[in-house]
């Protein structure tokens, strides 16, 4: 009996021991649910792994529980003797352990990956779905739907005094916006703080948007032995010491569990595993340390390479004067030729480069040509390999705002040559093509060669249906086709292959047509963030045209100075004061312009020498306009590739500021007279304002705010001087009806600032003056936006688009997704130029002369901008 009692005591003691072991097994050493998730394995694999873990963790415990239960039955008279009761104990124990099992894949794995010479630790399966995020989350500052869907925390929403929320902005300017662009965190623009109260209106409150919430994934979990990425050289002893500490902690925990379970074999297995882990970790740390040394040396070498390729961001004029010469991008063609004997270059585009060198350095020989192609020219200009492009480059909206290959916009001068698709070849067949005749008489034999793989083929098919079209590839094939009679005319853009003219010799049978069948306005190109340099290059084009308009040439070049006598303030003392403070300035320009005309002559002189044989000038776009002429000057620069996704409004630029504010501030000049600007009731309401300039302002507002032209505040200005100051101090965003002068483009004497004009939208036929929108020179994106809204109105009339079919205007993504319908919105509000003029100005100034379209693109388009 005593022996039986001892056995019972042992049974009770072991039953208590089994219970303690079971409780230890049931402890969840892992993070709470929602923090730790299984690894990326299949469900079946996960279940299998759980079964294996259960067998390992509870196998011995089950056997022990059965044995102790049997002992308890034997020694306890009141205990049930039914074997099924024992099985019930086992089942309850298994159920409890199953519920307390840890998550599968509990040990977090650290994967080491290398990318772009940087070693990164990638945490696998350690993040809940709510914690996973994209570090490059797309953000559109003017998109409402996505922002409103984001979690907003109170500490992230700071109300800004005098600010306007994006939500209220959207409510006031309805429109559907797509979320595809990227951008930064919105901030309040300094221009938002302009003294609006002084203008007699209150700005609606605006609330600054909060940034996206940042989710920081956990960097460590329980029971992790993490591999340390060595960013800098770390002593191996320190790494080993940290790993040993973690190993000892693991060993202690393992020892506690195994001692309670009396399973020495599991402790031995754990220690072996930890020793192996220690060896691997030490080796890994050593490898990473060595790799870190290599990466440090590589980073140092890369930094040295980057330093060698740093782009000088100083103003180009300053760099050019320090360097001592101008770098011009050009290509060899009819506008540039190379002497085979002397290897000297000459031609129309070479002279333009020399003229820029003369104005910048006082010496026309201080230039260097860089050969570019149609695929490299914009990249070379962007990375400052060249200072400008004199190569014949067509001005388009796509290249102006956001050119695809360079992912940036550029500044284009006034076109120096208007080119386009023309017909050339045998004279009578050229006449047939220009008359759209492929049916009558000799015209039935018209055969036209067209360059294969170009848009010219479609133009010729549409222009001359029924004629013979012979595609060619390259100049040799064209000449062969002309010699064999396969074609008797060809369609191309000037400059033409000189071999084509040589084929006809001096025969009068060869003719180049005067009519263009496409638009190719060729201009000089500069970087858009360099207004002073851009003005100097643009001045070259204007000065040549101005000299011809005033009959100034090489022999009387000194008269050029008289045109600038009132412009003595264009001096080095304050050119672009406050805009390009580090620049030396252009300097007193008049003597240099005299030297330029004395050396090269005027635009007509140069055209006759270099281009006349290629593009006949008579009655063409390349003649200088005179107020005695009755032809029109309205010519829409082509849009080009406008589907290129643009960056959206520049943060804190005028476009960004206006959109966040919720309305446009447009300065108007009642002194322009009735029909242009008037407010008969002298009311302060915006609806009371009427006139041609007023409606152009409303059209600009409509293009910004989804067709809502009421989102505008008119600011009355007394004269041109007040206009310049209102723009300089940001009282207004734009001024309508500003008189265009060369002086204001460089250095307006009252403010010391330079300004940018849009394309003229009204010409004074009596005074030969032009009027346009006026913007700040330092904000190229806003100036571009205003420029192309004016062009949209002219384009609509050229294409026969009216208010009713404004959806025929192209969709444009150059200013971002949210403004992609800006051209449509503008025309929907204003209509075409014809509709706008007839509805506002016709009763006061009947439409005629320069304010009509350049019909047939066959009349003078070179307008001389007055100096002052």
Q: What is the pLDDT of residue 243?
A: 58
Please check the confidence at residue 600 and state whether its pLDDT lies above 80: yes
75-89, 380-394, 509-523, 591-605: range with lowest mean pLDDT: 75-89
- Contact at 8 Å (CB) between 832 and 796? yes
Range list of H helices, 129-235: 144-149, 166-172
Assigned token pair, 787: 């420029």
> Does residue 220 or residue 441 have the better pLDDT?
441
At 336, is the pLDDT very low, low, confident or very high (cuts 50, 70, 90)? confident
As a whole number of angstroms, the distance between CA 575 and CA 583 comes to: 9
Burial of 445 (0-12, 13-18, 19+ CB in 10 A): middle
At 289, is the pLDDT very low, low, confident or very high (cuts 50, 70, 90)? very low
Please check the confidence at residue 112 and state whether its pLDDT lies above 50: no
- Contact at 8 Å (CB) between 723 and 747? no
What element of type H or E holds 219? none
At 536, is the pLDDT very low, low, confident or very high (cuts 50, 70, 90)? very high
**Residue 495 preceded by cis peptide, ω within 30:** yes
Q: What is the pLDDT of residue 33?
A: 36
334-338-341-343 Cα dihedral, nearest 10 degrees: 180
Please check the confidence at residue 591 and state whether its pLDDT lies above 50: yes
Ramachandran angles phi, psi of 110, nearest 5°: -115, 120
CA 434-439-441 angle, 5° bins: 90
Angle between helices 264-308 and 236-261 (to 10 degrees): 160
What element of type H or E holds 762? strand 762-764
| Mean predicted confidence (pLDDT) in 626-640 | 90
At 611, is the pLDDT very low, low, confident or very high (cuts 50, 70, 90)? confident
| Mean predicted confidence (pLDDT) in 4-21 | 48
Q: What is the pLDDT of residue 245?
A: 60
Across all residues in the chain, what is the average pLDDT? 73
pLDDT, one tens digit per residue, over 798-851 is 999 999 999 999 999 999 999 999 999 999 999 999 999 999 999 999 999 999
| Mean predicted confidence (pLDDT) in 359-379 | 93
As a whole number of angstroms, the distance between CA 868 and CA 862 comes to: 18
At 259, is the pLDDT very low, low, confident or very high (cuts 50, 70, 90)? very low
User: Any idea what DSSP says for residue 274?
Assistant: H
| Cα-Cα end-to-end distance for the chain | 128
Burial of 486 (0-12, 13-18, 19+ CB in 10 A): middle
Of these ranges, 52-61, 591-600, 636-645, the one predicted with the greatest mean pLDDT is 591-600
Q: What is the pLDDT of residue 177?
A: 36
123-132, 455-464, 621-630: range with lowest mean pLDDT: 123-132
User: Any idea what DSSP says for residue 30?
Assistant: S
Please check the confidence at residue 348 and state whether its pLDDT lies above 70: yes
> Does residue 228 or residue 650 have the better pLDDT?
650
| Mean predicted confidence (pLDDT) in 691-713 | 97
Q: What is the pLDDT of residue 492?
A: 80
pLDDT, one tens digit per residue, over 57-106 is 444 444 455 454 555 555 544 444 444 444 444 444 444 444 444 433 33
Please check the confidence at residue 156 and state whether its pLDDT lies above 50: no
Tell me what percent of the residues of the chain surpass a pLDDT of 90. Answer: 43
> Does residue 459 or residue 661 have the better pLDDT?
661
> Does residue 626 or residue 839 have the better pLDDT?
839
| Mean predicted confidence (pLDDT) in 109-138 | 35
At 333, is the pLDDT very low, low, confident or very high (cuts 50, 70, 90)? low
Q: What is the pLDDT of residue 246?
A: 58
Q: What is the pLDDT of residue 478?
A: 87
Q: What is the pLDDT of residue 338?
A: 80
At 200, is the pLDDT very low, low, confident or very high (cuts 50, 70, 90)? very low
As a whole number of angstroms, the distance between CA 734 and CA 658 comes to: 11
| Mean predicted confidence (pLDDT) in 520-541 | 95
Please check the confidence at residue 696 and state whether its pLDDT lies above 80: yes
- Contact at 8 Å (CB) between 496 and 334? yes
Distances, alpha carbon 855 to alpha carbons 520, 524, 834, in Å: 16, 25, 14
SS3 letters for 780-848?
HHHHHHHHHHHHHHHHHHHCCCCHHHHHHCCCCCCCCHHHCCHHHHHHHHHCCHHHHHHHHCCCCCCCC
| Mean predicted confidence (pLDDT) in 693-705 | 98
Q: What is the pLDDT of residue 458?
A: 76
| Mean predicted confidence (pLDDT) in 742-759 | 92
Q: What is the pLDDT of residue 697?
A: 98
Q: What is the pLDDT of residue 856?
A: 82
Give the number of other CB atoms < 10 A from CB of residue 759. 20
Assigned token pair, 340: 């085979």
What element of type H or E holds 579? none
Which residues, including other chains, have CB under 8 Å from residue 577's CB and lie 6 or more apart? Answer: 747, 752, 753
As a whole number of angstroms, the distance between CA 324 and CA 309 comes to: 20
Ramachandran angles phi, psi of 867, nearest 5°: -65, -40
Which residues, including other chains, have CB under 8 Å from residue 157's CB and lie 6 or more apart? Answer: 207, 210
Which residues, including other chains, have CB under 8 Å from residue 197's CB and lie 6 or more apart? Answer: none
Ramachandran angles phi, psi of 406, nearest 5°: -100, -10
480-615-515-471 Cα dihedral, nearest 10 degrees: 20
Distances, alpha carbon 770 to alpha carbons 537, 747, 797, 860, in Å: 21, 19, 20, 15
Angle between helices 2-26 and 43-75 (to 10 degrees): 160
| Mean predicted confidence (pLDDT) in 413-427 | 91
At 577, is the pLDDT very low, low, confident or very high (cuts 50, 70, 90)? very low
Distances, alpha carbon 366 to alpha carbons 326, 554, 574, 731, in Å: 6, 21, 26, 43
What element of type H or E holds 511? strand 510-512
Q: What is the pLDDT of residue 514?
A: 76
Tell me what percent of the residues of the chain surpass a pLDDT of 70. Answer: 59
Q: What is the pLDDT of residue 173?
A: 40
pLDDT, one tens digit per residue, over 757-794 is 999 999 998 888 999 999 999 999 999 999 999 999 99
Burial of 27 (0-12, 13-18, 19+ CB in 10 A): exposed
At 125, is the pLDDT very low, low, confident or very high (cuts 50, 70, 90)? very low
Angle between helices 822-830 and 692-704 (to 10 degrees): 150
3-class secondary-structure state, position 568: coil
As a whole number of angstroms, the distance between CA 707 and CA 806 comes to: 11
Which residues, including other chains, have CB under 8 Å from residue 410's CB and lie 6 or more apart? Answer: 378, 381, 399, 400, 403, 525, 526, 527, 528
| Mean predicted confidence (pLDDT) in 203-210 | 37
As a whole number of angstroms, the distance between CA 351 and CA 357 comes to: 10
181-190, 446-455, 837-846: range with lowest mean pLDDT: 181-190
Nearest by Cα to 347 from 607, 621, 620: 607
At 330, is the pLDDT very low, low, confident or very high (cuts 50, 70, 90)? very high
473-487, 629-643, 814-828: range with lowest mean pLDDT: 473-487
As a whole number of angstroms, the distance between CA 411 and CA 778 comes to: 12
Q: What is the pLDDT of residue 567?
A: 43
| Mean predicted confidence (pLDDT) in 8-36 | 42
Assigned token pair, 683: 């009311």
Sign for the pseudo-dihedral over CA of 124, 127, 131, 132: positive
């Amino acid at each position: 009996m005593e022996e039986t009692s001892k056995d019972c005591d042992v049974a009770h003691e072991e039953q208590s021991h089994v219970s303690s072991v079971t409780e230890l097994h049931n402890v969840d050493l892992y993070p709470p649910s929602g923090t730790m998730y299984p690894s990326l394995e299949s469900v079946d694999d996960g279940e299998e792994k759980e079964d294996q873990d259960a067998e390992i963790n509870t196998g011995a415990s089950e056997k022990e529980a059965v044995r102790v239960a049997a002992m308890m039955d034997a020694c306890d008279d009141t205990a049930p003797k039914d074997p099924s009761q024992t099985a019930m104990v086992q089942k309850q124990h298994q159920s409890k352990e199953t519920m307390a099992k840890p998550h599968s894949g509990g040990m977090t794995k650290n994967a080491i990956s290398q990318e772009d010479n940087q070693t990164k630790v990638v945490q696998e399966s350690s993040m809940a779905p709510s914690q996973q995020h994209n570090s490059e989350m797309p953000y559109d500052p003017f998109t409402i739907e996505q922002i409103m869907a984001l979690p907003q925390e109170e500490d992230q929403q700071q109300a800004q005094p005098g600010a306007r929320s994006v939500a209220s902005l959207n409510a006031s300017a309805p429109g559907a916006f797509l979320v595809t662009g990227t951008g930064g965190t919105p901030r309040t623009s300094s221009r938002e703080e302009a003294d609006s109260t002084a203008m007699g209106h209150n700005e609606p409150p605006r609330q600054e948007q909060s940034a996206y919430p940042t989710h920081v994934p956990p960097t460590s979990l329980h029971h992790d032995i993490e591999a340390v990425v060595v960013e800098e050289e770390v002593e191996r002893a320190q790494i080993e010491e940290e790993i040993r500490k973690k190993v000892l902690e693991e060993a202690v925990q393992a020892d506690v569990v195994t001692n309670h379970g009396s399973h020495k074999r599991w402790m031995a297995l754990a220690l072996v595993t930890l020793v192996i882990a220690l060896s691997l970790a030490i080796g890994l740390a050593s490898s990473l340390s060595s790799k870190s040394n290599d990466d440090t040396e590589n980073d140092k070498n890369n930094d040295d390479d980057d330093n060698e390729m740093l782009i000088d961001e100083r103003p180009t004029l300053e760099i050019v004067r320090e360097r001592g010469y101008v770098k011009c991008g050009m290509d060899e063609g009819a506008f540039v030729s190379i002497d085979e004997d002397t290897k000297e270059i000459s031609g129309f585009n070479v002279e333009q480069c020399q003229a820029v060198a003369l104005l910048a350095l006082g010496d026309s020989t201080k230039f260097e040509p860089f050969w570019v192609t149609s695929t490299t020219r914009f990249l070379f200009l962007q990375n400052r390999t060249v200072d400008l492009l004199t190569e014949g480059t067509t001005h388009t909206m796509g290249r102006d705002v956001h050119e695809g290959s360079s992912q940036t916009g550029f500044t284009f001068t006034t076109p120096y040559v208007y080119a386009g698709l023309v017909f050339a070849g045998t004279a009578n067949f050229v006449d047939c093509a220009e008359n759209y005749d492929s049916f009558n008489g000799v015209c039935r034999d018209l055969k036209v060669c067209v360059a294969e793989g170009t848009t010219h083929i479609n133009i010729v098919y549409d222009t001359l249906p029924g004629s013979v079209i012979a595609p060619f590839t390259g100049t040799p094939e064209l000449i062969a086709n002309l010699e064999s009679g396969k074609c008797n005319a060809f369609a191309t853009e000037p400059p033409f292959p000189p071999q084509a003219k040589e084929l006809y010799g001096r025969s009068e049978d060869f003719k180049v047509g005067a009519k263009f069948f496409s638009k190719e306005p060729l201009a000089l190109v500069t970087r858009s963030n360099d207004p002073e340099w851009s003005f100097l290059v643009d001045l070259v084009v204007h000065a040549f045209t101005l000299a011809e308009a005033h009959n100034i040439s090489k022999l009387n070049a000194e008269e050029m100075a008289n045109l600038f006598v009132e412009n003595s303030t264009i001096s080095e003392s304050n050119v672009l004061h406050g805009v390009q403070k580090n620049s030396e300035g252009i300097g007193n320009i008049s003597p240099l312009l005299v030297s330029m005309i004395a050396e090269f002559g005027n635009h007509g002189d140069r055209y006759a020498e270099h281009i006349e044989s290629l593009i006949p000038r008579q009655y063409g776009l390349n003649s200088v306009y005179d107020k005695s002429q009755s032809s029109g000057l309205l010519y829409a620069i082509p849009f080009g590739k406008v589907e290129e996704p643009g960056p959206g409004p520049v943060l804190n630029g005028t476009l960004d500021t206006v959109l966040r504010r919720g309305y446009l501030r447009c300065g108007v000049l009642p002194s322009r007279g009735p029909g242009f600007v008037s407010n008969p009731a002298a009311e302060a309401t915006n609806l009371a304002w009427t006139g041609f300039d007023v409606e152009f302002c409303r059209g600009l507002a409509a293009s910004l705010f989804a067709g809502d032209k009421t989102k505008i505040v008119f600011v009355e200005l007394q004269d041109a001087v007040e206009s310049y100051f209102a723009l300089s101090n940001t009282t207004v965003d734009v001024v309508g009806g500003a008189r265009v002068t060369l002086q204001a483009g460089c250095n307006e004497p009252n403010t010391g600032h330079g300004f940018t004009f849009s394309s003229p939208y009204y010409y004074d036929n009596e005074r030969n003056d032009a009027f346009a929108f006026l913007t700040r020179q330092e904000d190229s994106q806003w100036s571009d936006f205003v420029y192309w809204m004016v062009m949209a109105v002219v384009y609509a009339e050229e294409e026969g688009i009216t208010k009713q079919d404004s959806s025929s205007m192209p969709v444009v993504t150059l200013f971002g997704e949210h403004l992609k319908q800006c051209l449509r919105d503008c025309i929907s509000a204003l209509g075409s130029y014809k509709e706008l003029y007839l509805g506002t100005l016709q009763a006061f100034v009947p439409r005629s002369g320069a304010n009509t379209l350049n019909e047939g693109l066959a009349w003078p388009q070179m307008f001389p901008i007055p100096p002052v």
